């Protein structure tokens, strides 16, 4: 799957809120990634109609130091009955800068938008 480039734009309200929620969890490098939010722009969508996006961080940027390409946060999406319907993943390039927000789902139909904040349950990933 090749992302679809778009004219770079700022994060919209829901994208920013989801990233802020996920990055509110305490882990090594979280504060540096939170500092990047004011410098992030959306540069691609994964597929037409998908809420998953590629990000680019404009300089100057405070770089994080993460050992992996994924932020170590478990961000489960639950439906109103509390049933697991997907998860949100935040990707970083070189363990240093935000590079993507992915909404992975387990339902029959793909999501057309990011979930409401109240439908996301976040915890630190266990090693």
Strands, sheet with 120-124, edge to edge from the N-terminal-most edge strand: 4-10, 40-45, 53-57, 97-105, 84-93, 73-78, 120-124
Distance of alpha carbon 57 from alpha carbon 10, whole angstroms: 10
What's the rounded mean pLDDT across residues 9-28?
A: 97
The model's pTM? 0.94
Q: Assess whether pLDDT exceeds 90 at residue 61.
A: no
- Residue where the block lists tokens 């630190």: 124
What's the rounded mean pLDDT across residues 99-123?
A: 95
Q: Assess whether pLDDT exceeds 70 at residue 16.
A: yes
Q: Assess whether pLDDT exceeds 70 at residue 126.
A: no
What's the rounded mean pLDDT across residues 77-90?
A: 96
Looking at every residue in the chain, the average pLDDT score rounds to 93
Task: Give 59's pLDDT tier (boundaries 50, 70, 90).
Answer: confident
Q: Helix, strand or coil for residue 33?
A: helix
Which two structure tokens, joined as six digits, stand for 112? Answer: 């057309």
- Burial grade of 78 (CB within 10 A; 0-12, 13-18, 19 or more): middle
């Amino acid at each position: 799957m090749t992302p679809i480039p778009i004219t770079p734009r700022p994060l919209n309200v829901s994208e920013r809120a989801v990233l802020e929620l996920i990055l509110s969890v305490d882990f090594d490098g979280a504060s540096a990634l939170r500092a990047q939010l004011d410098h992030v722009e959306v540069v691609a969508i994964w597929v037409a109609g998908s809420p998953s996006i590629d990000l680019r961080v404009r300089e100057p940027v405070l770089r994080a130091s993460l050992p992996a390409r994924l932020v170590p946060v478990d961000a489960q999406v639950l439906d109103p009955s509390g049933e697991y319907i997907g998860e949100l993943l935040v990707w970083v390039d070189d363990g240093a800068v935000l590079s993507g927000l992915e909404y992975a789902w387990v339902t029959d139909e793909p999501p057309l938008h990011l979930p409401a904040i109240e439908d996301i349950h976040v915890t630190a990933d266990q090693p």
